[in-house]
Structure formats: structure tokens, C-alpha cells
Amino acid sequence: MSPSAFELHPQLAADTLLVGDLPLSRLLLMNDARFPWCILVPRHPGLRELHELDEADSTALFAEIRQLSQRLLALGDVDKLNVAALGNRVAQLHVHVVARRSTDAAWPDPVWGKGTPQPYDPAQAEALLTHLRTP
Amino acid sequence: MSPSAFELHPQLAADTLLVGDLPLSRLLLMNDARFPWCILVPRHPGLRELHELDEADSTALFAEIRQLSQRLLALGDVDKLNVAALGNRVAQLHVHVVARRSTDAAWPDPVWGKGTPQPYDPAQAEALLTHLRTP
């Protein structure tokens, strides 16, 4: 692999299930059944900040956020979406898109650092991954 | 005022100082001297979610995030930017752009709900507003 190839940060790999690759980003599902919580990782090496994306990639990312938002809303019973690029712990640019419910474990606070992740059971994970892979 | 005119949510108005209006968004400064923390509020009535912006407005918002990010980085000593549209408490669409330092009061956690805001003294606020208003 060339030194400039895209590699997913090992922490993101450890915390997530792979949904697949969109035109710009790798789409991941946080392995935490408490929240429908996805992560978009633009597949360019070395990115840290949102504003480092050029205009074409910004447009592509926004389109991917929009498409993912619709898929998450289609799960039903979603009160709010949270979209965020933080990266204080994992500097590789990644964008959280989280479907929030007023009944969820963290509401109305943000999800980061709240309690303990609850891994999906395999059937649950498979159903959600299939849903997220549907265009 | 027509019923469809843009009005800033009173909670956002109460928590912030006005920087000014960009082409799409009202730019606000959180009145909390612990973090250089700005908020962009696209000036369309009724917006709640990022994906409700059409493509032209998405492009405009991204350009404003990019420009604001550069202004915040120009403050110096910034380790990471946090960019987020949450809205669990205040549903009006607004995008946080926060300059984070590894020495700040919340690092490496997100800033929301951490401790108590420390209002700027007037000279500090004026200097920062002037910086943020510089193109």
C-alpha cells in the first residue's frame, strides 16, 4: 500500500461495523444499539478538518449527509438528527450522523461519552446494515 | 413582520453576541470566554435539519463554515475545530463552529453542557468581534 493511501483509523475500525463505500466516504455504523449512529469518513489520506475539503468534495459530502439523513429518518420515530465533525480524540476527519429520539439514553444531551456502548446482536446489526445499504 | 420571516430563536439570542450577517447565515459568538465558539444560523424560517438546505444553500453554508474556520484558526494555538448541528434543545437549525485547545476547560470532551459559561468582559468581546468581522 502506498504511504498516501487512505487507511481507516484503528479506533474507528474497532468501534464500528462497515456499511460500505459511498462516492467520497466510507460509511460506518457505530456498534452501539442505543442509537442509530453512522459515521462518514471521506476517503482521502491526511484529512483532519472539514474545511480542508475542496468545493467538489464538500458538495459530495453534503450529498452523502443528505442521503444518509433520509435513510436514518426512514427508520421512523426520529426526533432530531445530530451531525458533527469533532475529532478531539480521533483526528482523522469523520462526520457523525446520529438519529436521536427523545426517549434515547442520552437525550437531550449529545451522545459522545454517555454511558457504555451496547453492541448489536447479529440479527439486529444485519437488518440495520441492510437498511443502510438500500439506496 | 410577516409570519414567514426569519426570527432568531430567543435562546440563541440570549446566549450569544451578534457578529453580523453573512450571505446565508447570521453569525453569532457564544458569550463564553472559555472557548472561541461561533454559531451560524441560516436565515430561512422554519429550518430544523441540515439536509433541509437545498444544494445552493448547502454550498453557501459550507463556504461560511470554511471562512469562519480560517478566522478561528487565525486566533492561533487552535488544536482542533468542532463543527456540529445538534439542536436537541433548540430546534432552529444552527451550526456550532468551536475552536478547541488541548488546554481548554472541556478538552477532549465536547463543549456542550460542560461547566458554566464565563461571559466575556466588554474589551475582550469587542476585540474578538472585530477579529471575526474581518473578511
Question: Cβ B88–A81 below 8 Å, yes or no?
Answer: no
How far off is chain B from A25, nearest CA to CA, in Å? 17
Q: Which residue of B has its CA nearest to A104?
A: B88
Question: Cβ B85–A83 below 8 Å, yes or no?
Answer: yes
A113 contact residues in B (CB cutoff 8 A): 109-110
How far off is chain B from A31, nearest CA to CA, in Å? 20
Q: Provide the pLDDT for residue B42.
A: 98
Does B91 map to a domain?
yes
Does an H or E element contain A73, and which?
A: helix A55-73
User: Does the pLDDT value for residue A49 go beyond 80?
Assistant: yes
Does B133 map to a domain?
no
Global pTM reads: 0.96
Q: Provide the pLDDT for residue A2.
A: 54
Does A1 map to a domain?
no
How far off is chain A from B3, nearest CA to CA, in Å? 24
The residue behind cell 456502548 is A117
**Residue A108: which residues within 8 A CB-CB, separation 6 or more?**
A102, B88, B89
Task: Specify whether the CB–CB gap between A94 and A41 falls below 8 A.
Answer: yes
pLDDT tens-digit series, residues A75-128: 999 999 999 999 999 999 999 999 999 999 999 999 999 999 999 999 999 999
Number of H helices, E strands in chain B: 3, 5
Q: Which of A65, A109, A112 lies nearest to residue B50, judging by beta carbons?
A: A65
ipTM score here? 0.96
Task: Specify whether the CB–CB gap between A100 and A81 falls below 8 A.
Answer: yes
Task: Specify whether the CB–CB gap between B36 and B124 falls below 8 A.
Answer: no
Does B4 map to a domain?
no
**Considering its fold, how many domains does chain B have in total?**
1
User: Does the pLDDT value for residue B3 go beyond 90?
Assistant: no
Show the CA angle centred on residue B82, arms to residues B107 and B124, nearest 5°.
75
Does B124 map to a domain?
yes
- Quickly list H helices, A10-111: 10-15, 55-73
Does B1 map to a domain?
no
pLDDT tens-digit series, residues B5-56: 999 999 999 999 999 999 999 999 999 999 999 999 999 999 999 999 999 9
Tell me if chain B has a CB within 8 Å of the CB of A50.
yes
Domain that holds residue A116: 10-128
pLDDT tens-digit series, residues B75-132: 999 999 999 999 999 999 999 999 999 999 999 999 999 999 999 999 999 999 999 9
Query: Residue A24 to residues A51, A121, B12, B41, B52: CA-CA distances in angstroms?
Result: 15, 29, 34, 27, 21
How far off is chain B from A130, nearest CA to CA, in Å? 22
Does an H or E element contain B127, and which?
A: helix B122-133
Tell me if chain B has a CB within 8 Å of the CB of A86.
yes
Does B83 map to a domain?
yes
Closest to B80 in 3D by CA, of B96, B94, B64, B98: B98
Q: How far apart are alpha carbons A52 and B37 in whole angstroms?
A: 19
Q: Which of A51, A58, A83 lies nearest to residue B84, judging by beta carbons?
A: A83
Does A3 map to a domain?
no
Question: Cβ A69–B50 below 8 Å, yes or no?
Answer: yes
Tell me if chain B has a CB within 8 Å of the CB of A116.
no
Q: What is the mean pLDDT of chain A?
A: 96
The residue behind cell 476585540 is B127
Q: How far apart are alpha carbons B81 and A48 in whole angstroms?
A: 9
The CATH number of the domain holding residue B92 is 3.30.428.10
